[in-house]
Amino acid sequence: MTARRLAAGGRIDRTRSLAFTWDGVPLSGFAGDTVASALLAAGVRVVGRSFKYHRPRGLFGAWTEEPNAIVDVTLGEVEEPDARATVVELCAGVAARGVNGRPSVARDAYGVLDLAHRFLPAGFYYKTFLRDWPRREARIRAMAGLGRVAGTPDPRRFASRSAQCDVLVVGAGPAGLAAARAAAASGLSVIVADDRFIPGGSLHWRAATIDEQAGADWAAATVAALAAQGVRVMARTTVFGAYDHGAYGVLERAADPPAGWAAERLWTVRARRTVLAPGAIERPLVFPDNDRPGVMSADAVLHYLRVYAVRAGESAVVATNNDSAYEVALALHAAGTAVIVADLRPALPEAARAATAAGLRVMANTAVLGTIGRNGVRLVDLGPPDATSARAATMRVAADLVAVAGGWSPTVHLASQSGFRPRWDAARTAFVADTLRGDQHFIDAADIAGALEAGHAAGVAAAGALGRTVALAAPRTPPPAAAAPLRALWRVPIRGARQWVDLQNDVTADDIALAARENYASVEHLKRYTTLGMATDQGKTSNVNGLALLAEATLRTIPEVGTTTFRPPYTPVTLGAVAGLRHGRLYAPWRQLPAHAEHAALAAEMREYGGWMRPACYRRAGEDAAAAVQREAAAVRGGVGLFDASSLGKIAVAGPDAATFLNLMYYNEVATLKPGRIRYALLLQETGVVYDDGVVARLAPERYLLSPSSSHTQGVLAMLERWHQTEWPQLRVAFHDITAAWATFVLAGPAARAVLAPFTDIPLADDALPHMAVAEGRIRGIAGRIARVSFSGERSYEVSVPAGYGLALWQALLAAGAPHEITPYGVETSSLLRAEKGYILIGTDTDGMTLPDDIGMAASLRSKSVDFVGRRSLLMPEARRPDRRQFVGLLPADPATVPAVGAHAIERTADGGLRSLGWVTSAFHSPALGRSIALGMVQRGRALAAAGAVVELYHLGRITRARVCAPVFFDPTGERLRA
């Protein structure tokens, strides 16, 4: 390895040496390095293996466009697969590993694949393995992927933020800073987002003098001035997506987050105007064997030299088709690298003069015709650009670096995401975006002077669009020398040699020609067929070269071929950051009951039911859940049980037209309900399907209280609001969800009244508070409510107090019930008790097809005359079919076996097959009956029940039998409700 770090210069801190490892080998770099610059300084040439052929690859770029240096990074417990070494800041202790090499990228056994490349062209897999794909797939899959993903949880925190501003400036290079400066001067709020470590962009490696300062100094001074004006300048911040109405997705990476802080934050920024100043990316040149380590972007070479003080080679060929490479050649030369310049253009441009003067060998009309070297460039063949054979080479030079300058592609991604189709500018030989579209100002400049001018103009224009003026002159810089035009040569016309276009995905110029030959001639077909631009670099360096080659191959112009539509994200975004705070409990927070702590103290088995954490049952030592449910159910029927029903919905409905409105909403008649009385009622969708059931209590003539099921409360409220506002706005009625304001407990069982009586001034005598009555009064001195409803079939009181008193009341009821052996019971027990009574559980016994008649509630359709929600749908032919599934009871032939919920009732078809008649919706062992019971929805179920028919039940290949019966197993006359 060669020491390539210069003794001085760069933006690194030579006083802070940082140790790291590369594929297990200890190396060191400096603070301010990236993993890539440290590897380059250490002389590491092979940093990756290509995806398909496992070719050795070296660094090509210096930033997010890098196609080759994909590495897995480990730092402490943080593991990041598929990081680009060019953007990972070096820190002490980082372990970086190359990907896609076995055992390493330096020595990769899969490298032999390249020997068979001739039989593995683009899309080869579509043409073979037609019969034995499963076997082949396993082999191919074994080689899939780049990095390795750890199976452990990612310890990093991610956050979600949002911001608004008048002007969002994307990019803090010369153009972006000039724009921000102008916009801020007008007094507008400005956010500048830049994805690099420090603002300034190319000013850190391209020479410039702005306002009599060195470019980098001007950038620093400008950023300081902006900050002083309150402009938020965000470094390490990528605007990755443009969305509707001025919204942008923005990812901010923390440099070194303190423990517990978010590693990355995803911002949603809403801007009134946006200045897009993201700069441009240098294109490679396409020539034979242009993928060897040592072939690098000329701009990246300059970047490494001036920012990291790393010389990319000892001896370089600078190959170019435009003027921008001459600064690179001179800088390399000054740093001690031997340099030859190969310029594709027929005559040397003005820009070559300085290079020639400095003693460099500069050759016009010269292309690279090939490179030689096993794991990196050793020799370079030069010759005429129109060479059709490698033998046309006129010169072979020793070089370990080929710096290629193929022209510039403006970063049009965000403009394209916003719906703008980039326009081909033949003079610039690039896709560009218009300077103004909608609320976006796009800056497109060929040099720093142009960037400053256009940036300033965009800032002024953005301010002007928002009614502000700018009293500030544009930054001044010396006028640039006249540039000679670029010469486009999309490939060297040598046949047979492999000329690479997409380095990561191994797409060659011949692959593109093949796609064209086979008529995959749309740019989207090309992309999909050859995988061009589909790698993790998203085609940043390959896109335009690929399009141009497709145009050549199909005898079309580049505008005729067009470009692909760019989509978010501009660069890959950490998934954890996209999710942000929506993780773990915050993904969908569940609700807790007011007496949650008491349930926990009683060792309740807590489960989630419709977003609420509720006790399923209360297990005692040595008891499983099933046994607990049996014990609790028996205790309710034998004495008294206590159930926390606080999650049950409570919607207050008030107004002079409350009765009229609710009668339009509910399937059942609720307008004739007398104050103080309660009715069970269904709420339908307009399609007639049962949406919810619950009790409707009329507290006063103009005041109702609805009790939707726990998981439907929000939905019912939304439904009431919508129907009121959109269909019957003339009715004077209002709704309020008071669920969270009340704690509600159910005392159920023969001893319920005895336990409750001492607590309240509400008369509990059966003539004062009969079944299905409600009364307001005091409970332990607190204003509350008692409703006599029952979901268990037992005498039952639903006691409600303000939520803050819930815990105390729960404790007091338990204490007062002790002489009666009061037993807390959970949701599963409640479900068993109601199943014994044949009460339906919405969403369990019903589904999205259930109509009222299916569950035995046909009366309202006949008796109600108002057009309640869903009424007309119940008159449709389908709703009146005689063979609908109906709610029934099922008595298993084996009383000791509980059938599986989800088992199907079946019949045999004439051809020996099975046909489903319906299914089991609930099933339990009933302690009251001492046998198994089930509920279900079965075709023509009521007729089968009347006939006492036996049906077969199918579950996972096994068949059992059950007798169909009416869906009420216990106390069919309801005596216990009143007992």
Residue from 317, 276, 237 nearest 64 by CA: 237
Candidates 26, 118, 256, 863; binder of another protein (CB under 8 A) is: 118
Q: Which of residues 410-429 bind another protein (CB under 8 A)?
A: 417, 419
- Would you say 140 or 950 has its CB closer to another protein? 140
SS3 724: helix
**In this structure, what token pair is assigned to residue 794?**
């037992």
CB atoms near residue 979 (< 10 Å): 10
Specify the stretch interacting with another protein by CB under 8 A; choose among 2-10, 148-156, 213-221, 224-232.
148-156
Whether 216 contacts 222, CB under 8 Å: no
Q: Report the alpha-carbon angle 88-91-95, nearest 5.
A: 75
Q: Which of residues 892-911 bind another protein (CB under 8 A)?
A: 900-904, 906
Q: Which of residues 610-669 bind another protein (CB under 8 A)?
A: none
Specify the stretch interacting with another protein by CB under 8 A; choose among 129-137, 291-299, 397-405, 769-777.
129-137
If one asks whether residue 592 binds another protein (CB under 8 A), the answer comes out as no
Rounded to a whole number of angstroms, the minimum distance from the CB of residue 333 to another protein is 38
Whether 774 contacts 697, CB under 8 Å: yes
Cis omega (within 30 of 0) for bond into 257 = no
> Which residues have CB under 8 Å from 112's CB, separation 6+?
none
- Would you say 9 or 568 has its CB closer to another protein? 568
- Would you say 43 or 728 has its CB closer to another protein? 728
Per-residue H/E/C for 889-924: EEEECCCCCCCCCCCEEEEECCCCCEEEEEEEEEEE
Candidates 22, 158, 618, 805; binder of another protein (CB under 8 A) is: 158
If one asks whether residue 721 binds another protein (CB under 8 A), the answer comes out as yes
Torsion of CA 972, 974, 977, 979, to 10 degrees: -110
**In this structure, what token pair is assigned to residue 245?**
């109405």
Instruction: Please tell me the distance from the alpha carbon of residue 978 to that of residue 272, in angstroms, as a whole number.
Output: 68
Rounded to a whole number of angstroms, the minimum distance from the CB of residue 79 to another protein is 6
Rounded to a whole number of angstroms, the minimum distance from the CB of residue 144 to another protein is 4
Q: Which of residues 269-308 bind another protein (CB under 8 A)?
A: 270
Per-residue CA distances from 503 to 5, 301, 597 (Å): 27, 18, 60
If one asks whether residue 241 binds another protein (CB under 8 A), the answer comes out as yes
Task: Transcribe 734-782 into DSSP letters.
Answer: EEEE-GGGEEEEEEESTTHHHHHGGGBSS--STTTS-TTEEEEEEETTE
Q: Which of residues 849-878 bind another protein (CB under 8 A)?
A: 849, 867, 871-873, 875-878
- Would you say 125 or 261 has its CB closer to another protein? 125
Q: Which of residues 789-818 bind another protein (CB under 8 A)?
A: none
**In this structure, what token pair is assigned to residue 563?**
């470009």
Task: Transcribe 92-127 into DSSP letters.
Answer: TT-EEEESS-SB-SSSBGGGGGGGGGGG--TTGGGS
Specify the stretch interacting with another protein by CB under 8 A; choose among 151-159, 343-351, 654-662, 832-840.
151-159
- At residue 683, φ and ψ (nearest 5 deg) are -115, 125
Instruction: Please tell me the distance from the alpha carbon of residue 903 to that of residue 713, in angstroms, as a whole number.
Output: 30
Rounded to a whole number of angstroms, the minimum distance from the CB of residue 132 to another protein is 10
Per-residue CA distances from 913 to 181, 214, 899, 916 (Å): 78, 85, 22, 10
Candidates 92, 149, 740, 768; binder of another protein (CB under 8 A) is: 149
Specify the stretch interacting with another protein by CB under 8 A; choose among 335-343, 347-355, 806-814, 954-962.
954-962
Instruction: Please tell me the distance from the alpha carbon of residue 752 to that of residue 770, in angstroms, as a whole number.
Output: 14
Tokens 């059938």, located at residue: 899
If one asks whether residue 147 binds another protein (CB under 8 A), the answer comes out as yes
> Which residues have CB under 8 Å from 420's CB, separation 6+?
412, 433, 434, 437, 440
Q: Which of residues 446-505 bind another protein (CB under 8 A)?
A: 495-496
Instruction: Work out the angle between the directed axes of helices 298-308 and 325-334 (0-180°, nearest 10).
Output: 40
Rounded to a whole number of angstroms, the minimum distance from the CB of residue 720 to another protein is 11
The contact mask relative to another protein for 47-76 (x = CB under 8 A, - = no) is ----x-------------------------
Specify the stretch interacting with another protein by CB under 8 A; choose among 18-26, 184-192, 567-575, 676-684.
567-575
Residue from 237, 248, 280, 218 nearest 65 by CA: 280
Rounded to a whole number of angstroms, the minimum distance from the CB of residue 721 to another protein is 6
Candidates 568, 611, 715, 856; binder of another protein (CB under 8 A) is: 568
Rounded to a whole number of angstroms, the minimum distance from the CB of residue 431 to another protein is 19
Residue from 688, 654, 673 nearest 868 by CA: 688
If one asks whether residue 844 binds another protein (CB under 8 A), the answer comes out as yes
Specify the stretch interacting with another protein by CB under 8 A; choose among 119-127, 665-673, 743-751, 775-783.
119-127
Rounded to a whole number of angstroms, the minimum distance from the CB of residue 695 to another protein is 23
If one asks whether residue 135 binds another protein (CB under 8 A), the answer comes out as no
Residue from 413, 392, 380 nearest 285 by CA: 380
Residue from 677, 671, 681 nearest 699 by CA: 677
The contact mask relative to another protein for 199-228 (x = CB under 8 A, - = no) is ------------------------------
- Would you say 88 or 769 has its CB closer to another protein? 88
Rounded to a whole number of angstroms, the minimum distance from the CB of residue 98 to another protein is 13
Q: Which of residues 526-545 bind another protein (CB under 8 A)?
A: 528-529, 534, 536, 538
Instruction: Please tell me the distance from the alpha carbon of residue 660 to that of residue 733, in angstroms, as a whole number.
Output: 9
Instruction: Please tell me the distance from the alpha carbon of residue 286 to that of residue 862, in angstroms, as a whole number.
Output: 81
Cis omega (within 30 of 0) for bond into 569 = yes
- Would you say 298 or 616 has its CB closer to another protein? 616
Candidates 15, 127, 471, 975; binder of another protein (CB under 8 A) is: 127
- At residue 907, φ and ψ (nearest 5 deg) are -130, 160
Candidates 575, 621, 765, 910; binder of another protein (CB under 8 A) is: 575
Whether 372 contacts 381, CB under 8 Å: yes
The contact mask relative to another protein for 5-44 (x = CB under 8 A, - = no) is ----------------------------------------
Candidates 689, 774, 786, 787; binder of another protein (CB under 8 A) is: 689
Candidates 24, 134, 359, 758; binder of another protein (CB under 8 A) is: 134
Candidates 21, 213, 365, 687; binder of another protein (CB under 8 A) is: 687
- Would you say 561 or 833 has its CB closer to another protein? 561
If one asks whether residue 576 binds another protein (CB under 8 A), the answer comes out as yes
Rounded to a whole number of angstroms, the minimum distance from the CB of residue 81 to another protein is 5
Binding residues with another protein: total (CB under 8 A) = 124
Candidates 9, 82, 493, 812; binder of another protein (CB under 8 A) is: 82
Candidates 115, 588, 896, 910; binder of another protein (CB under 8 A) is: 588
Candidates 425, 518, 624, 894; binder of another protein (CB under 8 A) is: 518
Identify the helix (H) or strand (E) that includes residue 616.
Answer: strand 612-618
Rounded to a whole number of angstroms, the minimum distance from the CB of residue 266 to another protein is 8
If one asks whether residue 261 binds another protein (CB under 8 A), the answer comes out as no
Tokens 């790291």, located at residue: 20
Rounded to a whole number of angstroms, the minimum distance from the CB of residue 955 to another protein is 6
Candidates 6, 43, 106, 243; binder of another protein (CB under 8 A) is: 243
Query: Residue 777 class from Cβ within 10 Å (0-12 exposed, 13-18 middle, 19+ buried)?
Result: middle
Residue from 811, 805, 739 nearest 778 by CA: 805
Instruction: Name the pairing type of β-strands 612-618 and 604-609.
Output: antiparallel
